[in-house]
Structure 1
Amino acid sequence: MSSDVPDSTDVQARAVENVRIEDEMEQSYIDYAMSVIAGRALPRVEDGLKPVHRRILYAMHEMGVSSGSSHRKSSSIVGETMGDYHPHGDSAIYDTLVRMAQDFSMRYPLVDGQGNFGSMDGDPAAAQRYTEARMSSISEELLEDIDKDTVDFSANYDDRLQEPDVLPAAFPNLLVNGSSGIAVGMSTNIPPHNLGEIIDATIELIDNPDATVEDLMDHVKGPDFPTGANIVGRDAIYSAYKTGRGRIRVRAEFEVEEWQNGRERIVITELPYQSNKARLVERIAEDVTDGEIEGISDLRDESDRDGVRVVVECTRGANVEVVKNKLLENHLERTFGVINLALVDGQPQVLSLKETLAEYVSHRREVVRRRSEYDLTEAQDRAHILEGRLKAVENADNVVELIRNSETRSDAKDALREAYDFSQDQADHIVRMQLGSLTSMETAEIEDEYEDVQAEIERLSAILDSEQELLSVIKDELREIKAEYDDDRRTSIIEDQGTVTHEDLIPEEEVFVVMTEDDYVKRMPIEAFDPQGRGGKGIIGADVKEGDRVTTVFRANTHDYLLCFTNQGKVYQLKTYEIPEMGRTARGKSAVNILDLDANEDITAIVDTDALESDEFVTMATRNGYVKRTAGEEFENIRTTGIIASDLEEGDELVDVEVTDGSNDLVIGTEHGMTIRFDEAEVRSMGRTARGVNGIKLQDDDAVAGLVATDEDDGQALLTVTQNGYGKRTRLTEYRTQSRYGKGLIDIKTGERNGPVTAVKAVDDDDELVMMSESGQIVRTRVDEISTVGRNTMGVIVMDVETGDAVSSVDVIPAASVVADDDADDATDEN
């Protein structure tokens, strides 16, 4: 082979372009993304349609499947659309056709379907070979004048045919029927609206281009969903119309009916847009079964072709307001996220209400202009022909003679043009005229038609010469559409009055909450336990089963939000009213559905969140003598499964928790009767997962029993209670301040009579005390019943504990609460 002849491999290599893989991937992905955005997923602002919708309607138009024709098999329509315009899967086309026929999906369906086209229960449509369809009359308005060069056309996928880039759209379909779709990196979700309201707003914008969103909202009250229901509040609607984005709350329509035997039932008649009715009923039933919703005895779906009717029957004595609001909270209210994103000049853009209507008016202006130009050309051509016919009628004898004397049609045309200055089109028409058209009646009809055509030419010329005339045509046509298709609004706008929550219906009262080692819990009114003298046995406060024991009793208000700290260093949030109220002799209810406690996890301290400010600290003490402070703000968001409050070393437990403000003194008491007092500032603030620092140096076998926070000169006393029911009060001033991590001072003599210390509390003279034993006995007594003595004493009996029993928990009722309780009792007596 000659060296001058290039090798074939070299020739091929010259056709290969070297590019960086990241550049090629980037460009290819951008091309793909734009293809999805512009060619599949997003609607055009002018007609509110995606390509698949537009192609289906245009295919039906070309097939002649109009609203006045008979229905055609859906498979035929799908096949024509797929074969000529939309080269994608037939299922995607059919799914779109089905949705355009569903009156619960589209506010004004664009397809008139015959057969099974699905239901609100999520039932699929029948196969396309079984269903039939045709265009609805309103969809024909989208295609009106498409044959008059009103819109641009492009070649279809195989260059055989032409398809419209956009439809003329005689009404703002984007807002009227809405749209939804997910593209690459963006999505659209436009709610449907009432046709009449949107047309009124469009006319308002034409008349007043400076109209604000507020002005347009005088006409457009808000979205109008095909399924009706209610929109809660107007602020979200305004935000969506002003910015193109918003979150609208849609609430089901329902009413409470009196039923048999004094019972009540809730009847649901309208559901939020895009709700699956069957799934909704199933979820309500599941919540009833799981105990999430109480007070429902029966649930039925009585819906038929006339509309939705779901009946929720309440049990006798049930609070229907609680049931209703539970349903609202979990089932009957949903959020519609408005994203008014559409293609404007081929680019995705988030539009306000005004911008959307302005784009539509601009499109409609171009459609009317192009249609007027087309009609004007047609009218001028017709006038030109009529002028020739009139001239021919005036010279009928000579014209007939001239044609008879011509050898051929061509000669006759040439003779006419030469003799009477006819144009080629006029001469062609005159040669084809019948003799019958030369009668006087025909002549009069030609003259009348000529006058009509001249008037049409003047009208069209005025439209093209005057912007105001053109806009008047747009307004008149919109009014005609409104007169033909407008209907009553389905979705109501209601003010957000808030809902009556379960908490609102719970009376606010002080209660005792009792918890046991086996996680049984209940609450009881404080009024059920009258104060007794010191040293009483008390009364039964809980029926503890064999092998179980009471671990915690604390006072709370039914409306309190509590932070419950456990021995394993976790914290849970609890609403007091969520704990079931039971009598004194009841065992309680398993806490597994209230607090997700682990095995061997007990609540050891309670903090009322009302008492916790953002600049305060949660201060904790552990059994092994560690102490730590953590900023209160770290306990604001607590999961239902709890969060870590303190990292404990193996074998250690969280014992007690106090709220401090950074200026307190901390007092730690131990089971062997030792105490230490030191400045809170010696414990630096640290995170939740920290272990803390040493607070007290414990002797062998000793352990921390409790933690107290006190001011320097608050006049309080330190109350110490032991397991065997003995206790004492000692003024806190007798406990000198030391450095952290010392051995401390003797507080109380423990020994065999007293037993280990159960709790230490800071108390005032007017406070009350509630103590509970492991077996469930409870005593409520005044603090001033307990003697004030010095340190290192034995104390006196405060609760008569039986052999084998022991004091398990102590809580303080502050003096302010005691006074409030007494006032409430006095008011009750007066009434």
Structure 2
Amino acid sequence: MASNPVDPIIDAPFDSALSERYLVYALSTITARSLPDVRDGLKPVHRRLLWAMRLLRLDPASGYKKCARVVGDVIGKYHPHGDQSVYDAMVRLAQTFALRYPLVDGQGNFGNIDGDNAAAYRYTEARLTQVAIDLMAGLDEDATDFRATYNGEEQEPELFPGMFPNLLANGAAGIAVGMATSIPPHNAAELLDAAVALIDNPQANVLDYVKGPDFPTGGLVVDSPAAIAESYATGRGGFRVRARITVEREKGGGWYLVVSEIPYGVQKGKLIEGIAALITDKKLPILGDVRDESDEEIRIVIEPRARTVDADTLTESLYRLTDLETRVPLNLNVLDKTRTPRVMSLGEALAAWVEHQFVVLRRRSEHRLQKIADRLELLGGYIIAYLNLDRVIEIIRTEDEPKPVMIAEFELTDRQAEAILNMRLRSLRKLEEMELVRERDALTKEQAGLVDLLANEGKQRRRLKGDLRKIRDRYGPETALGARRTTIAEAAPARVIPLEAMIEREPITVILSQRGWIRAMKGHVDLASAETMKFKEGDGPAFAFHAQTTDKLLLAAATGRFYTLGADKLPGGRGFGEPVRLLIELDGSVQIIAFLRASSSDRLLVAATDGRGFLVKTADTIAETRKGKTVMTPRAGAMLSLVKPVHPEDDYVAAIGDNRKMLVFPLSELAELSRGQGVQLQRYRDGGLSDAITFRFDKGLTWAMGGEAGRMRTESDLTPWRAARGAAGRMPPTGFPRDNRFQG
């Protein structure tokens, strides 16, 4: 009977089967795709790319080869994944704005800092950089283990042994399953100095040498030393990175900002779009224009709206509102030497790399010793042959099987005898013997030195320090590639710039008509002339006052909602203006009770028609949206009837009802709320509140007598009307206005 070709069904709980399979996938993603190795800082795709290019002999001194050839070798021999993903990884290794020390030297379009993509791999060419050569140094000397490729046809290195600190110098980023890594680039010379210090003292403070990240795009890291140290100590945190901005002055007092370096990872095109959006959306009124004058060097010119704008204010605002300041995260999550993912501190990561270099040094030394031993064995046989040249020739000429005869007569090894038999006749020179003896003596001396090196840890430390210093000279601060690009300069967080500072301060006269049409005339015009200004037929002035373009204006509706208008955003004084209801969400049937400047007073007295009211801080009435903000919630049948500024010296409240009874009580008896119905100012049997005002008791109340003379009267003795809040009051002094309105 034929066997069942279908796999047998396994009876297992679904949750355990799913978790086991998902765990396998997760571990594969973590260890074989997304996280870099702490020893060479590479993920498998990058390692395979560089290995394939090395086998193609694409060293810095050779010519370029098509990237399609490299990608083909990688996906065919080592990395059976999509060609686009492999090419994208290769492109990043060649981008000078993405990698601090590029590992691939690209020729052609490999993308740009604007965010444009690279050309297809059939158009671009590449070869290795010296950095990549340094990173792979030692692969031919058994410095690291090799493993079979996915199909078993080739061999690939498990990691690279070179002395370039790639993990921290170039950084890394990746998202695995349940974990991620984000390591910014650093300065290689600083890392190597710290590594030398760790060799001498494993407890050395690496922050004495590594000041902070060093991004390929430059910029400024503006965190405090304490914050940087905290991030490096825990392996988690981030860095605030700002663009490098300078102020360039023009003749005549004009100026503009020039951005010469932008934060790491920010696309220049999107950055400029973001700045332009601030202008279009009018979110930064002091910003005038932005233009890109970049060529090979970045140059973004930002112009203010007027030369009177403060340069620091504009710069701080741009830092807050655009990607001219970003946060670069730090999550030093890597695979350690046992291929276990864990978060390391900066010191631990550098110490793990130094430990790896000791292993490489010993393996390369042992490999060299083996090579020397093999060569010395052959040299011993060659020298015996020269010393007995005639007899060797005779044996070769006369014996059918000369090899065993030679081994027996001269006590040679099989390899020595085979090497003698394979010698060329031209090598039978007297000079060759001298060279062989000289070579043997030199190798014997080198062999003794290597044996001593492997037996002496002190010599290993000295040897490694010397090797690291040689690499450090290649990437020193005096070289074009090694010079630090990012400045570490502590700066305070970008402060919140008040709206007033972003607007050019100019005097205006604000006019709101009875039908709700609003306009702002330039300058402080005579308010008496507002009566003669042009209005639509049947319309007239309702509110008119002087203000500044930096003011916030409060509009109170009968419903108890307060709305906030920016004085700089009001329509101009030509014509009749615009309906105020286009600027705020106010129903056309709702009456406007008050319209005033928010800066006119720190506190406001608000009251409803039923006589209830309270004090409110002006800051609590400012609304952030067009919908306004509810401040008073009048009882059923009542509505907000007055909003009056409170002078800081006022200490009493005067209220008068429709019944023409007046009450005076201390201001301290009035509640201060941010929202509500308030308390009863005055008690009424019929009608409601007509008017109320705050004043200084010792100065009394003043009102107009009426008539053309414009005479005023002041009642200084208010004792007869003074009572507790909520009393009924009594008839006002003789001559009080018939409209029941206080002066003010």
User: Under a length normalisation based on structure 2, what TM-score does the superposition of the two structures give?
Assistant: 0.79
Cα 1:582–1:463 change in 2 (3 A) is same
**Which residue pairs with 1:822 in the alignment?**
none
For 1:559 and 1:309, how far apart are their aligned partners in 2?
32
| 1:353 Cα offset (Å) | 0.7
Q: Does 1:468 align with 2:484?
A: no
Residue pairs, 1:612-651, within 5 angstroms = none
Counterpart of 1:246, as a letter, is G
Equivalent residues, number: 704
Residue pairs, 1:159-174, within 5 angstroms = 159-174=152-167
Q: Summarize deviations over 1:492-532 as a string: whole Å, max 9, x none.
A: 1122155576449589999999988959598999xx899xx
For 1:53 and 1:370, how far apart are their aligned partners in 2?
24
CA contact (8 A) 1:766 1:784 kept: no
Please point out which of 161, 164, 177 is paired with 2:170: 177
Aligned to 2:266, the other structure's residue is in SS state coil
Aligned to 2:328, the other structure's residue is in SS state strand
**Which residue pairs with 1:45 in the alignment?**
38
Q: Does 1:65 align with 2:3?
A: no
**Which residue pairs with 1:284 in the alignment?**
275
Using the TM superposition, name which of 270-279 and 387-396 deviates more. 387-396
CA contact (8 A) 2:613 2:679 kept: no
Cα 1:766–1:147 change in 2 (3 A) is farther
**Which residue pairs with 1:765 in the alignment?**
697
Q: Does 1:449 align with 2:439?
A: yes
Q: Does 1:490 align with 2:485?
A: yes
**Which residue pairs with 1:120 in the alignment?**
113
Counterpart of 1:765, as a letter, is F
Which structure 2 residue ranges, 5 or more long, are not aligned? 477-481, 672-676, 704-709, 722-728
**Which residue pairs with 2:731 in the alignment?**
793
Q: Summarize deviations over 1:666-714 as a string: whole Å, max 9, x none.
A: xxxxxxxxxxxxxxxxxxxxxxxxxxxx8xxx8xx65565799x9xxx9
In angstroms, what is the RMSD of aligned CA positions?
5.1
For 1:551 and 1:368, how far apart are their aligned partners in 2?
89
**Which residue pairs with 2:285 in the alignment?**
294
CA contact (8 A) 2:510 2:518 kept: no
CA contact (8 A) 2:611 2:681 kept: no
| 1:354 Cα offset (Å) | 0.1
Cα 1:281–1:783 change in 2 (3 A) is farther
Cα 1:446–1:318 change in 2 (3 A) is same
Cα 1:398–1:704 change in 2 (3 A) is closer
Please point out which of 263, 266, 270 is paired with 1:275: 266
Cα 1:450–1:510 change in 2 (3 A) is same
**Which residue pairs with 1:671 in the alignment?**
none
Counterpart of 1:257, as a letter, is E
| 1:40 Cα offset (Å) | 1.4
For 1:736 and 1:239, how far apart are their aligned partners in 2?
52
Counterpart of 2:360, as a letter, is V
Q: Summarize deviations over 1:727-764 as a string: whole Å, max 9, x none.
A: 96613499999xx99999546997xxxxx635545544
For 2:396 and 2:3, how far apart are their aligned partners in 1?
73
Counterpart of 1:229, as a letter, is G
| 1:107 Cα offset (Å) | 0.7
Aligned to 2:141, the other structure's residue is in SS state coil
Q: Summarize deviations over 1:305-351 as a string: whole Å, max 9, x none.
A: 2x111122334434142333322222221111122221223222121
Residue pairs, 1:668-707, within 5 angstroms = 705=641
CA contact (8 A) 2:551 2:567 kept: no
Q: Does 1:195 align with 2:188?
A: yes
**Which residue pairs with 1:678 in the alignment?**
none
For 1:153 and 1:748, how far apart are their aligned partners in 2?
100
| 1:461 Cα offset (Å) | 1.4
CA contact (8 A) 2:562 2:622 kept: no
Q: Does 1:105 align with 2:98?
A: yes
Q: Summarize deviations over 1:623-666 as a string: whole Å, max 9, x none.
A: 78999999x9xx999975779868xxxxxx635xxxxxxxxxxx
CA contact (8 A) 2:379 2:436 kept: yes
Aligned to 1:304, the other structure's residue is in SS state coil
Counterpart of 1:654, as a letter, is T
| 1:380 Cα offset (Å) | 1.2
Residue pairs, 1:105-504, within 5 angstroms = 105-212=98-205, 216-235=206-225, 236-305=227-296, 307-321=297-311, 322-331=313-322, 332-344=324-336, 345-408=338-401, 412-486=402-476, 487-497=482-492, 502-503=497-498
For 1:529 and 1:727, how far apart are their aligned partners in 2?
38
Aligned to 1:793, the other structure's residue is in SS state coil
**Which residue pairs with 1:719 in the alignment?**
654
Aligned to 1:188, the other structure's residue is in SS state strand
| Identity score, percent | 32
For 1:767 and 1:180, how far apart are their aligned partners in 2?
73
Q: Summarize deviations over 1:741-799 as a string: whole Å, max 9, x none.
A: 9999546997xxxxx6355455443799999xxxxxxx9x9998795652132468889
Q: Does 1:731 align with 2:669?
A: no
For 2:290 and 2:203, how far apart are their aligned partners in 1?
53
CA contact (8 A) 1:513 1:556 kept: yes
For 2:699 and 2:349, how far apart are their aligned partners in 1?
68
Counterpart of 2:107, as a letter, is Q
CA contact (8 A) 1:390 1:446 kept: yes
| 1:385 Cα offset (Å) | 1.7
Aligned to 2:439, the other structure's residue is in SS state helix
For 2:93 and 2:668, how far apart are their aligned partners in 1?
84
For 2:483 and 2:60, how far apart are their aligned partners in 1?
23
Using the TM superposition, name which of 552-561 and 783-792 deviates more. 552-561
Counterpart of 2:408, as a letter, is E
Residue pairs, 1:501-540, within 5 angstroms = 502-503=497-498, 505=501, 518=516
**Which residue pairs with 1:90 in the alignment?**
83
Aligned to 1:147, the other structure's residue is in SS state helix
Using the TM superposition, name which of 505-514 and 175-184 deviates more. 505-514
| 1:90 Cα offset (Å) | 0.7
Aligned to 1:255, the other structure's residue is in SS state strand
User: Under a length normalisation based on structure 1, what TM-score does the superposition of the two structures give?
Assistant: 0.72
Q: Summarize deviations over 1:405-446 as a string: whole Å, max 9, x none.
A: 3212xxx22122222221121122122234544433211111
| 1:589 Cα offset (Å) | 9.5
For 2:422 and 2:699, how far apart are their aligned partners in 1?
118
| 1:150 Cα offset (Å) | 1.6
For 2:522 and 2:549, how far apart are their aligned partners in 1?
10
For 1:173 and 1:58, how far apart are their aligned partners in 2?
15
Aligned to 1:730, the other structure's residue is in SS state strand
Counterpart of 1:52, as a letter, is V
Q: Summarize deviations over 1:80-111 as a string: whole Å, max 9, x none.
A: 11111111111111111111111111111110
Cα 1:283–1:341 change in 2 (3 A) is same
Aligned to 1:275, the other structure's residue is in SS state coil
Q: Summarize deviations over 1:236-264 as a string: whole Å, max 9, x none.
A: 32222111122211111121111254321
Residue pairs, 1:579-590, within 5 angstroms = 579-580=567-568
Aligned to 1:262, the other structure's residue is in SS state coil
CA contact (8 A) 2:100 2:169 kept: yes
For 1:542 and 1:252, how far apart are their aligned partners in 2?
54
For 2:18 and 2:221, how far apart are their aligned partners in 1?
45
Counterpart of 2:331, as a letter, is I
For 1:18 and 1:229, how far apart are their aligned partners in 2?
60
Please point out which of 54, 71, 75 is paired with 1:78: 71
CA contact (8 A) 1:263 1:315 kept: no
Please point out which of 633, 641, 655 is paired with 1:654: 633
For 1:248 and 1:470, how far apart are their aligned partners in 2?
37
Cα 1:159–1:584 change in 2 (3 A) is closer
| 1:58 Cα offset (Å) | 0.7
Using the TM superposition, name which of 163-172 and 503-512 deviates more. 503-512
For 2:25 and 2:120, how far apart are their aligned partners in 1?
32
For 2:621 and 2:376, how far apart are their aligned partners in 1?
82
